Structure 1
Amino acid sequence: MNTYIYLSTCNTCMRILKDLNLPEGTKLQDVKHDPISQAQLEALYAVTHSYEQLINKRSRVLQALNKAGKTLDENGYKLLLETEYSCLKRPILHWENNFYLGNAKKTVAAMQQAIHG
């Protein structure tokens, strides 16, 4: 199923959602109220081969850990993704077996291309 994974309190996610003009039937998944499943996390990992690449580097939780001098390995990043919805890089578009992660202009353009051709 085509899915847009986002955080409803993230202005950037909401702006991109509006700009994408997603077709009817696209599942909208707000990670604050509907966290990503283990299966989704594993599918994302299969694409990136790194939990660190799935992390929102600007997350307050991650910044607090860094400030406290904590360093994370892959298992630490995985645990963070499983327990803290705000640490997930967003938005994520799962469209026809492809994943598009993040809000970089190039990524958003690729999302548009995938959806509208």
Structure 2
Amino acid sequence: MLRGKVYLLKTCSTCKRILKQVKLFGDFEVRDVKTEPLTMDEVDELAGKVGGYELIFNKQSQKYRQEGLKNKDLTEEEYRQLLSEEYTFLKRPVFVIDDKLFVGNSKTTIDLLTKYLASTNK
């Protein structure tokens, strides 16, 4: 059976729905980023796998708007720092399977995740 890790918020209904959908394909170690925040090393690792900190940053976060960050031109280092300080800035869910990373809850991302899981589960 396929194994992987997923970073999410356990209180997020979208994350729960997606996890339920993909559990058919494998066993996932679930990590709630609110109760167990990412370390700077983990932030660096995730960003390294996708090609940048901005790509794992949640620009839909209420805190992003509240702090006026959408009006700023943030650097990669600023994204890095924000991700390590505030769990809501991580785009969720994040699935780490083998050397692949699937970030966010867009239909395209979930379709790619599901196809990848189905192809490796034969």
Change (3 A) 1:19 1:56: same
Displacement, 1:116?
2.7
What is the letter of the counterpart of residue 52 of structure 2? S
How many pairs does the alignment contain?
Answer: 116
Matches within 5 A, 1:21-60: 21=23, 23-24=26-27, 26-60=28-62
Partner of 1:77: 79
Displacement, 1:69?
5.0
**Cα RMSD, aligned residues only:** 2.0
Q: Which runs of 5+ in 1 are unaligned?
A: none
Q: Secondary structure at the match of 2:45?
A: helix
Change (3 A) 1:19 1:50: same
Percent identity between matched residues is 30
| Alpha-carbon displacement from aligned partner over 1:34-93 (angstroms, at most 9, x marks no partner) | 112333212222123321121111111111122795542222111110010011001110
Q: Which runs of 5+ in 2 are unaligned?
A: none
What is the letter of the counterpart of residue 74 of structure 2? L
Matches within 5 A, 1:1-117: 2-21=4-23, 23-24=26-27, 26-66=28-68, 70-117=72-119
C-alpha contact (below 8 Å) 1:95/1:114 kept by paired residues: no
> Counting strand residues as a fraction of each chain, which structure ranks higher?
2
What is the letter of the counterpart of residue 103 of structure 1? N
Change (3 A) 1:67 1:12: same
Distance in 1 of aligned mates of 2:67 and 2:75:
13
TM-score (norm 1): 0.86
Structure 1 consecutive aligned stretches of length 4 or more whose deviation exceeds 4 Å: 67-71
